[in-house]
Amino acid sequence: MTPADDAELFPGFTSQQIDTGEARIFVRHGGSGPAVMLLHGHPRTSATWHRVAPLLVAAGFSVICPDLRGYGRSRGPEPTADHSAHSKRAVAADMVEVARRLGHDRFHLAGHDRGSYVALRMAMDHPSLVQRVALMDCLPISEHLRRADAEFATRWWHWFFFAQPEIPERVIDADPASWYAPKADPATMGAENHAELLRAVQDPAVVRAMLEDYRAGLTIDRAHEEEDRAAGRRIEAPTLVLWSTRDDLEELYGDPLRVWRAWARDPVGFGIDSGHHMAEEAAPAVADALARFFS
Protein backbone atom coordinates (compact mmCIF):
# COMPACT_ATOMS: atom_id res chain seq x y z
CA MET A 1 0.00 0.00 0.00
CA THR A 2 1.36 3.39 -0.97
CA PRO A 3 1.29 6.52 1.26
CA ALA A 4 -1.52 7.82 -0.97
CA ASP A 5 -3.55 4.66 -0.31
CA ASP A 6 -2.94 5.01 3.44
CA ALA A 7 -4.11 8.62 3.31
CA GLU A 8 -7.29 7.59 1.50
CA LEU A 9 -8.07 4.85 4.02
CA PHE A 10 -7.18 6.95 7.10
CA PRO A 11 -7.56 10.60 6.05
CA GLY A 12 -5.48 12.97 8.17
CA PHE A 13 -3.51 10.15 9.79
CA THR A 14 0.25 9.64 9.79
CA SER A 15 1.73 6.21 9.05
CA GLN A 16 5.14 5.16 10.34
CA GLN A 17 7.30 2.30 11.57
CA ILE A 18 8.40 2.33 15.22
CA ASP A 19 11.32 0.21 16.42
CA THR A 20 10.42 -1.12 19.88
CA GLY A 21 13.72 -2.94 20.38
CA GLU A 22 12.41 -6.45 19.66
CA ALA A 23 10.06 -5.53 16.82
CA ARG A 24 9.26 -2.98 14.15
CA ILE A 25 5.64 -1.94 14.52
CA PHE A 26 3.67 -0.28 11.74
CA VAL A 27 1.26 2.27 13.18
CA ARG A 28 -1.29 4.77 11.95
CA HIS A 29 -2.11 7.70 14.22
CA GLY A 30 -4.08 10.90 14.02
CA GLY A 31 -6.29 13.38 15.83
CA SER A 32 -5.81 15.29 19.04
CA GLY A 33 -7.04 14.95 22.60
CA PRO A 34 -7.02 11.94 24.96
CA ALA A 35 -5.26 8.95 23.39
CA VAL A 36 -7.11 5.80 22.34
CA MET A 37 -5.24 2.73 21.08
CA LEU A 38 -7.20 0.28 18.90
CA LEU A 39 -5.91 -3.30 18.55
CA HIS A 40 -7.12 -5.52 15.71
CA GLY A 41 -7.80 -9.24 15.62
CA HIS A 42 -6.97 -12.17 13.33
CA PRO A 43 -6.38 -12.09 10.40
CA ARG A 44 -6.95 -8.35 10.12
CA THR A 45 -4.54 -5.43 10.22
CA SER A 46 -4.94 -1.96 11.68
CA ALA A 47 -6.98 -1.17 8.56
CA THR A 48 -9.95 -2.95 10.17
CA TRP A 49 -10.48 0.31 12.15
CA HIS A 50 -10.69 2.53 9.06
CA ARG A 51 -14.37 3.35 9.68
CA VAL A 52 -14.12 3.68 13.47
CA ALA A 53 -10.91 5.71 13.78
CA PRO A 54 -12.13 8.86 11.96
CA LEU A 55 -15.29 8.89 14.08
CA LEU A 56 -13.20 8.82 17.25
CA VAL A 57 -11.00 11.64 15.92
CA ALA A 58 -14.17 13.64 15.24
CA ALA A 59 -15.23 12.92 18.84
CA GLY A 60 -12.04 14.57 20.12
CA PHE A 61 -9.54 11.73 20.56
CA SER A 62 -6.01 10.99 19.41
CA VAL A 63 -6.26 7.56 17.80
CA ILE A 64 -3.45 5.00 17.51
CA CYS A 65 -3.93 1.97 15.24
CA PRO A 66 -0.93 -0.42 15.21
CA ASP A 67 -0.44 -3.70 13.38
CA LEU A 68 0.24 -6.31 16.06
CA ARG A 69 3.67 -7.97 16.12
CA GLY A 70 4.03 -10.01 12.93
CA TYR A 71 0.67 -8.99 11.46
CA GLY A 72 0.26 -6.68 8.47
CA ARG A 73 3.39 -4.55 8.10
CA SER A 74 4.77 -5.16 11.60
CA ARG A 75 7.68 -7.53 12.05
CA GLY A 76 8.98 -9.24 15.17
CA PRO A 77 11.69 -11.70 16.14
CA GLU A 78 11.86 -15.29 14.98
CA PRO A 79 9.48 -17.65 16.81
CA THR A 80 10.80 -19.33 19.94
CA ALA A 81 10.24 -22.90 21.12
CA ASP A 82 8.10 -21.75 24.04
CA HIS A 83 6.25 -19.23 21.80
CA SER A 84 7.20 -16.38 24.15
CA ALA A 85 8.33 -14.20 21.22
CA HIS A 86 4.67 -13.97 20.21
CA SER A 87 3.10 -14.03 23.67
CA LYS A 88 0.55 -11.37 24.52
CA ARG A 89 3.01 -10.10 27.14
CA ALA A 90 5.62 -9.47 24.44
CA VAL A 91 3.08 -7.87 22.10
CA ALA A 92 1.72 -5.72 24.94
CA ALA A 93 5.25 -4.43 25.57
CA ASP A 94 5.44 -3.41 21.91
CA MET A 95 2.21 -1.46 22.22
CA VAL A 96 3.32 0.32 25.40
CA GLU A 97 6.51 1.43 23.64
CA VAL A 98 4.52 2.61 20.59
CA ALA A 99 2.32 4.77 22.84
CA ARG A 100 5.36 6.15 24.65
CA ARG A 101 7.15 6.99 21.41
CA LEU A 102 4.05 8.86 20.24
CA GLY A 103 4.07 10.90 23.46
CA HIS A 104 1.31 9.17 25.42
CA ASP A 105 2.13 8.12 29.00
CA ARG A 106 -1.49 7.09 29.64
CA PHE A 107 -4.15 6.05 27.18
CA HIS A 108 -7.49 4.35 26.66
CA LEU A 109 -7.39 0.93 25.04
CA ALA A 110 -9.72 -1.18 22.92
CA GLY A 111 -8.99 -4.64 21.55
CA HIS A 112 -11.01 -6.92 19.30
CA ASP A 113 -10.62 -10.68 18.95
CA ARG A 114 -6.86 -11.49 19.29
CA GLY A 115 -6.22 -7.82 20.01
CA SER A 116 -8.45 -8.13 23.06
CA TYR A 117 -6.03 -10.65 24.57
CA VAL A 118 -3.22 -8.14 24.12
CA ALA A 119 -5.44 -5.50 25.71
CA LEU A 120 -6.14 -7.79 28.67
CA ARG A 121 -2.43 -8.38 29.15
CA MET A 122 -1.64 -4.66 28.88
CA ALA A 123 -4.27 -3.85 31.49
CA MET A 124 -2.87 -6.55 33.80
CA ASP A 125 0.83 -5.82 33.29
CA HIS A 126 0.69 -2.01 32.93
CA PRO A 127 -2.19 -0.82 35.13
CA SER A 128 -0.74 2.65 35.60
CA LEU A 129 -0.78 3.27 31.83
CA VAL A 130 -4.24 2.00 30.84
CA GLN A 131 -6.97 4.46 31.85
CA ARG A 132 -9.98 2.55 30.53
CA VAL A 133 -10.17 -0.64 28.51
CA ALA A 134 -12.75 -2.03 26.09
CA LEU A 135 -12.67 -5.76 25.31
CA MET A 136 -14.58 -6.81 22.21
CA ASP A 137 -15.80 -10.29 21.19
CA CYS A 138 -13.74 -12.19 23.71
CA LEU A 139 -13.33 -13.98 26.99
CA PRO A 140 -9.93 -14.68 28.54
CA ILE A 141 -8.24 -17.57 26.71
CA SER A 142 -8.13 -19.64 29.89
CA GLU A 143 -11.89 -19.23 30.35
CA HIS A 144 -12.55 -20.53 26.83
CA LEU A 145 -10.32 -23.52 27.48
CA ARG A 146 -11.82 -24.19 30.90
CA ARG A 147 -15.25 -24.46 29.26
CA ALA A 148 -14.11 -26.25 26.10
CA ASP A 149 -16.44 -29.01 24.96
CA ALA A 150 -17.34 -30.66 21.66
CA GLU A 151 -19.39 -27.67 20.52
CA PHE A 152 -16.58 -25.23 21.23
CA ALA A 153 -14.02 -27.47 19.52
CA THR A 154 -16.26 -27.81 16.48
CA ARG A 155 -16.95 -24.10 16.11
CA TRP A 156 -13.49 -22.87 17.13
CA TRP A 157 -11.50 -25.72 15.62
CA HIS A 158 -9.04 -23.28 14.07
CA TRP A 159 -7.52 -22.60 17.54
CA PHE A 160 -6.33 -26.19 17.70
CA PHE A 161 -5.41 -26.50 14.04
CA PHE A 162 -3.32 -23.33 14.12
CA ALA A 163 -1.49 -24.63 17.20
CA GLN A 164 -0.09 -27.63 15.32
CA PRO A 165 3.56 -27.44 14.22
CA GLU A 166 4.30 -26.81 10.54
CA ILE A 167 1.11 -28.26 9.05
CA PRO A 168 -0.96 -25.02 9.13
CA GLU A 169 1.81 -23.09 7.34
CA ARG A 170 1.87 -25.63 4.51
CA VAL A 171 -1.91 -25.61 4.15
CA ILE A 172 -2.40 -21.83 4.29
CA ASP A 173 0.65 -20.82 2.24
CA ALA A 174 -0.48 -23.06 -0.61
CA ASP A 175 -3.30 -20.59 -1.35
CA PRO A 176 -3.65 -17.89 1.33
CA ALA A 177 -6.20 -15.82 -0.60
CA SER A 178 -8.58 -18.78 -0.81
CA TRP A 179 -7.98 -19.73 2.83
CA TYR A 180 -9.00 -16.29 4.11
CA ALA A 181 -11.63 -15.49 1.44
CA PRO A 182 -14.68 -16.93 3.28
CA LYS A 183 -14.38 -14.33 6.06
CA ALA A 184 -12.98 -11.47 3.97
CA ASP A 185 -15.74 -9.92 1.89
CA PRO A 186 -14.49 -6.74 0.17
CA ALA A 187 -17.97 -5.22 0.08
CA THR A 188 -18.25 -5.53 3.86
CA MET A 189 -14.64 -4.73 4.70
CA GLY A 190 -14.10 -1.92 2.20
CA ALA A 191 -11.93 -2.46 -0.88
CA GLU A 192 -8.70 -0.96 0.50
CA ASN A 193 -8.99 -2.81 3.82
CA HIS A 194 -9.61 -6.06 1.93
CA ALA A 195 -6.65 -5.47 -0.38
CA GLU A 196 -4.37 -4.76 2.60
CA LEU A 197 -5.38 -8.04 4.23
CA LEU A 198 -4.73 -10.04 1.06
CA ARG A 199 -1.32 -8.43 0.58
CA ALA A 200 -0.36 -9.28 4.15
CA VAL A 201 -1.31 -12.96 4.03
CA GLN A 202 0.70 -13.54 0.86
CA ASP A 203 3.82 -13.20 3.02
CA PRO A 204 4.73 -16.53 4.71
CA ALA A 205 6.37 -14.58 7.56
CA VAL A 206 3.03 -12.95 8.35
CA VAL A 207 1.20 -16.28 8.25
CA ARG A 208 3.75 -17.84 10.57
CA ALA A 209 3.54 -14.97 13.04
CA MET A 210 -0.25 -15.16 13.10
CA LEU A 211 -0.04 -18.88 13.81
CA GLU A 212 2.49 -18.23 16.57
CA ASP A 213 -0.11 -15.90 18.12
CA TYR A 214 -2.42 -18.93 18.47
CA ARG A 215 0.35 -21.26 19.61
CA ALA A 216 1.25 -18.78 22.32
CA GLY A 217 -2.42 -18.53 23.25
CA LEU A 218 -2.76 -22.20 24.13
CA THR A 219 0.54 -22.33 26.02
CA ILE A 220 2.35 -19.37 27.55
CA ASP A 221 -0.60 -16.94 27.40
CA ARG A 222 -2.86 -19.43 29.12
CA ALA A 223 -0.18 -19.93 31.79
CA HIS A 224 0.06 -16.18 32.38
CA GLU A 225 -3.71 -15.95 32.82
CA GLU A 226 -3.75 -18.87 35.22
CA GLU A 227 -1.02 -17.15 37.25
CA ASP A 228 -3.14 -13.99 37.37
CA ARG A 229 -6.18 -15.94 38.50
CA ALA A 230 -4.26 -17.84 41.20
CA ALA A 231 -2.83 -14.57 42.54
CA GLY A 232 -6.23 -12.87 42.55
CA ARG A 233 -5.15 -10.19 40.06
CA ARG A 234 -7.88 -8.36 38.15
CA ILE A 235 -8.14 -5.48 35.72
CA GLU A 236 -8.27 -2.36 37.87
CA ALA A 237 -9.17 0.05 35.06
CA PRO A 238 -12.85 0.66 34.23
CA THR A 239 -13.77 -2.07 31.75
CA LEU A 240 -16.27 -2.16 28.88
CA VAL A 241 -17.21 -5.50 27.31
CA LEU A 242 -18.80 -5.48 23.84
CA TRP A 243 -19.88 -8.50 21.85
CA SER A 244 -21.43 -9.13 18.43
CA THR A 245 -24.98 -10.39 18.77
CA ARG A 246 -24.76 -12.20 15.42
CA ASP A 247 -21.60 -14.05 16.44
CA ASP A 248 -21.58 -17.01 18.86
CA LEU A 249 -20.15 -15.66 22.14
CA GLU A 250 -23.56 -15.27 23.81
CA GLU A 251 -24.78 -18.53 22.32
CA LEU A 252 -21.85 -20.46 23.80
CA TYR A 253 -21.58 -18.73 27.20
CA GLY A 254 -24.67 -16.66 27.93
CA ASP A 255 -23.98 -13.18 29.28
CA PRO A 256 -20.21 -12.54 28.79
CA LEU A 257 -20.25 -10.10 31.71
CA ARG A 258 -20.77 -13.00 34.12
CA VAL A 259 -17.37 -14.37 33.12
CA TRP A 260 -15.63 -11.00 33.06
CA ARG A 261 -16.70 -10.17 36.63
CA ALA A 262 -14.00 -12.56 37.83
CA TRP A 263 -11.39 -10.64 35.83
CA ALA A 264 -12.34 -6.97 36.16
CA ARG A 265 -13.85 -4.72 38.80
CA ASP A 266 -17.45 -3.93 37.90
CA PRO A 267 -17.30 -4.45 34.11
CA VAL A 268 -20.13 -3.00 32.06
CA GLY A 269 -21.17 -3.88 28.54
CA PHE A 270 -23.72 -4.88 25.95
CA GLY A 271 -24.16 -6.53 22.57
CA ILE A 272 -23.68 -4.77 19.24
CA ASP A 273 -25.97 -5.72 16.34
CA SER A 274 -23.25 -7.10 14.09
CA GLY A 275 -21.35 -10.10 12.90
CA HIS A 276 -17.91 -10.83 14.33
CA HIS A 277 -15.97 -8.01 12.62
CA MET A 278 -17.95 -5.26 14.32
CA ALA A 279 -15.51 -2.42 13.52
CA GLU A 280 -16.21 -3.04 9.84
CA GLU A 281 -19.88 -4.03 10.01
CA ALA A 282 -21.17 -1.63 12.70
CA ALA A 283 -18.63 1.19 12.89
CA PRO A 284 -21.03 3.96 14.06
CA ALA A 285 -22.31 1.83 16.96
CA VAL A 286 -18.78 0.76 17.94
CA ALA A 287 -17.39 4.31 17.74
CA ASP A 288 -20.29 5.67 19.77
CA ALA A 289 -19.86 3.02 22.48
CA LEU A 290 -16.13 3.67 22.72
CA ALA A 291 -16.43 7.46 22.66
CA ARG A 292 -19.05 7.44 25.43
CA PHE A 293 -17.03 5.08 27.59
CA PHE A 294 -13.70 6.80 27.09
CA SER A 295 -15.24 10.20 27.77
Q: Annotated catalytic sites, by residue?
A: 113, 276
Based on C-alpha coordinates, what's the Rg of the chain? 17
Between strands 62-66 and 239-244, the pairing is unpaired
Please classify residue 123 by burial: count the beta carbons closer than 10 Å to its beta carbon, then call 0-12 exposed, 13-18 middle and 19+ buried.
buried
- Asked whether the beta carbons of 72 and 65 are under 8 A apart, the reply is no
- The enclosing H or E element of 38 equals strand 35-39
Give φ, ψ of 48 to 5 degrees: -60, -20
Strand order in the sheet with 62-66: 14-19, 24-31, 62-66, 35-39, 107-112, 130-136, 239-244, 268-272
CA 100, 86, 16, 10 dihedral sign is negative
Please classify residue 269 by burial: count the beta carbons closer than 10 Å to its beta carbon, then call 0-12 exposed, 13-18 middle and 19+ buried.
buried
Distance CA(181)–CA(22), nearest Å, equals 31
SS3 category, 81: coil
Distance CA(241)–CA(258), nearest Å, equals 11
